[in-house]
Structure 1
Amino acid sequence: MFHLHAGECVFLYEEIFERRCYAGNGLRLDQNAPGCIFDVGANIGMATYFFHKEYPGKKIFAFEPNPRAFEVLSANVARLGIEATVLSCALSDSPGTAKLTHYPNKSCMSGLYADPEADARTTRAYMINEGMDPEDADFLLSETFAPEQYDCTLTTVSSIIDRDRIESIDLLKIDVEKAELDVLRGIRSEHWPLIRQAVIEVHDFGGRLASIRGLLETHGFHSTVKQDPKLKGTGLYDLIAVRPDEETRGSRAR
C-alpha cells in the first residue's frame, strides 16, 4: 500500500488485518445482503481495504478530511481495485468548514480536536505499556506531534444518506480522534433505523463514553466496551454496538 509513514502503515496493518479489530466481537456482515459500509476516518485506507477483502462486492463509503491522507487513500483505492466512494470531508453534527490538525509523523491521530500535548501523552502511555523505557519513549516522541493545519469540509451522515439514497448501513465504523460524538449527532432520527451495527473508537473525556453509549441505547442498540491492555490509562476504548435482531440472527446462524 501507499502510505505516509512506513511504521504507521505496519501498525495499522497489524491492528486491522492481524488483530482483526473490525471483525468478531458480535459484528456480523452478510456480503450478499443489501447495504453498505461507512468508513469514517479512513486515513490511508487500511480498514477500507480490509472491508473490501472480507466482503467483496459490498459498497464502501470512505471519508477522510486530511488532504495528505486523502491523496494516499485515493491512490490505494485505485491501485487495489477497491469498490469505494472516497470523500474528502469530515462527518460532523452539521455542514460547514473547520480547521483540521495534521501530524506528518502520526497521521492516524490527526483530527479536528487534535491536542499535541495530550496526544503525545496517549502515545507515550501506549509505548510504555508495550514495554518501552520511558526515556526512550520521550526521545522518540520529541518530534512526532509537530502540527500542520488545513481547512476541511464538514457534512453529516444524514446528508450522505439523503444524497445517495442509502437504504441500509450494515456497518458504521468511526475512528475520528475525539469527534465521534459529533458524527453520531449528525444522524437524524429517521435515519437511525437504517444503521445495523457500529464500531467506534471512543476518547472518554468529559463523560463522552457514557454519552455515546446512552445515545446508541436510545436508538435500539446493545453495546459493549473493550480496551486493549496496551491502552490502559489512556481513556481510549472500542465500543461495539449491535441491534438485538442482529444478535439473534447470529445466534441462529451458529
Structure 2
Amino acid sequence: MFGWEAPDLRIVSVEPAPTTFSCLEANLRSHLPGAVAVRSAVADRAGEATFTYYPRSTGNSGLFADQQADDENTRVFLRNTGIPEEYIGEMVKDLHRGIDMSVPTLTVSDLIRAHDLPEVSLLKIDVERAEHLVLAGIEDDHWPLIGHIVAEVHDPAGSGP
C-alpha cells in the first residue's frame, strides 16, 4: 500500500526463510518492482544464526522459535476468536513442527550502508522474539536517520512495563 500511495519510496524487505523469501520476491516483482528483497535475518551482528522455520505456520518462524510457547499462543488466539475448544487441539497439532536451518544475519546498520539509505522513514520489525537483536544492531550514528519504528514485541519473561 505504501508503494502505491508514495511511488518514490525506497522499500527494502528482509526475510530469512527460503520459501517465504521466494513469495516476497514474487510479490515485490508483481506489485513494487523498485523494491529490494534481501535474504537474511536481521540481528545484532553480521554472520550466521540458526533459524527455525515452521512450514505450516511461517509467521511464527524465527531465531528464537519455541514450539511449546507458539502452540500455547495459537491456542489462546483460537479461543479468543471463538473456535470451540474441542477443535483447537487438532488445529494446533504439528503446527509448529520446525525445521532448523542456518541463515545469514545482518544488522539494520548494514542495510543502511548497503543500500545507501540517507534516511529510514519507517522501520517495521516483526521478528518473533528477536526484537532486542534488531535494535541492538543499530549503530549510534544511524539512530537519527530513523523516523519511526513499528514493532510487534514479544516479552515472554514479562520484563516490560
The TM-score bracket by the shorter chain reads: over 0.9
Task: From the superposition, tell whether residues 81 and 173 of structure 1 become closer, same or farther in structure 2 (CA, over 3 Å).
Answer: closer
Query: CA distance change for structure 1 residues 92 and 208 in 2, over 3 Å: closer, same or farther?
Result: farther
The question of whether the paired residues in 2 share the 8 Å contact of 1:57 and 1:83 is answered with: no
Q: Please state how far the C-alpha of 1:173 moved relative to its aligned partner.
A: 0.3
**Structure 1: runs of 5+ lacking an equivalent:** 1-49, 211-254
Equivalent position SS for 2:153:
strand
Distance 1:84 1:208 in 2: 36
Cα distance in 2 for partners of 1:208, 1:93 equals 20
Q: CA deviation at 1:55?
A: 2.6
Between the aligned partners of 2:39 and 2:116, the Cα distance in structure 1 is 19
- Could you list the structure 1 runs, at least 4 aligned residues long, displaced by more than 3 angstroms after superposition: 207-210
Equivalent residue letter for 2:125: I
C-alpha deviation, 1:51, in angstroms: 2.6
Deviation string 1:99-152 (CA, Å, 9 cap, x unpaired) is 111111110111110111110100110110111112211111112111112210
Instruction: Confirm or deny that 1:103 pairs with 2:36.
Output: no
Other-structure match for 1:140:
91
Q: Is the 8 A contact 1:94 1:156 kept in 2?
A: yes
Q: Structure 1 177/193 Cα, relative in aligned 2: closer, same or farther at 3 Å?
A: same
Distance change in 2, residues 1:125/1:207 (3 Å): closer
**Residue correspondence of structure 1 range 1-254 to structure 2 within 5 A:** 50-207=1-158, 209-210=160-161
Question: What's the counterpart of residue 46 of structure 1?
Answer: none
Kindly, what percent of the aligned residue pairs are identical?
37
> Once the two structures are superposed, what CA deviation does each residue of 1:63-113 show, in whole Å capped at 9, x if it has no partner?
001111001111111122432110000110011101111111110111110
Contact 2:3/2:32 (<8 A) preserved:
no
Q: Secondary structure of the equivalent of 1:192?
A: helix
Q: Which amino acid aligns with 2:98?
A: P
Structure 2 equivalent of residue 26 of structure 1: none
What RMSD, in angstroms, separates the aligned Cα atoms of the two structures?
Answer: 1.4
For normalisation by structure 1, the TM-score amounts to 0.61
Number of equivalenced pairs: 161
8 Å CA contact 2:14–2:38 kept in 1: the answer is: yes
Q: Is contact 1:202-1:209 (8 Å) kept?
A: no
Q: Which has the higher contact order (CA 8 A, sep 6+)?
A: 2
Aligned partner of residue 65 in structure 1, secondary structure: coil
AA aligned to 1:60 is I
CA contact (8 A) 1:158 1:191 kept: yes
